[in-house]
Amino acid sequence: MFAAFPLLALPVLIYNLLALTVGGGFSSDAASYRFGEQLFRIHMASRVDWIVSWGDLLLGASLIVLFVELLKSTTSRKVAIVNHSLSMVLFIVCLVELLLLPAFATSVFFLITLMVLLDVLAGFIVTIVAARRDVDFGEMR
């Protein structure tokens, strides 16, 4: 049953927890500030500092999760259909949050929503292509 769970729900859940529980209210400015805060800095060979924020870290982790989701979408088991359906529900939830809640009107959440959409599209496209390959039409005359 764990295979049916869309893993991109984890970054969405983390964003929800950080955006709605940490002080600063539910405004877009407070969320943008919160996700833009410096987490750490790395001194680069070019003698400049690379500043990594909470939003950068969340987006990087989301990209890794998206890669795993894309690998999961290549399976043709029945549980993949449930995964695609739950991913569609997750996309609808993300879209509603993005459009209606001020704390979610940030670039970080928009990019996470875009990743969820790509997961939905890739899952359905891979399933359709795999189903077309499995169907044998016989000899055409």
- Whether the Cβ atoms of residue 19 and residue 31 lie closer than 8 Å to each other: yes
Mean pLDDT score of the chain, rounded to an integer? Answer: 85
Give the 3-state secondary structure of 33-48: HHHHCEEEEEECCCCC
Q: What is the pLDDT of residues 9-62, one digit of tens each?
A: 999 999 998 888 776 667 777 788 888 888 899 999 999 999 999 999 999 999
Tell me which of 29-33, 69-73, 121-125 is least confident.
29-33
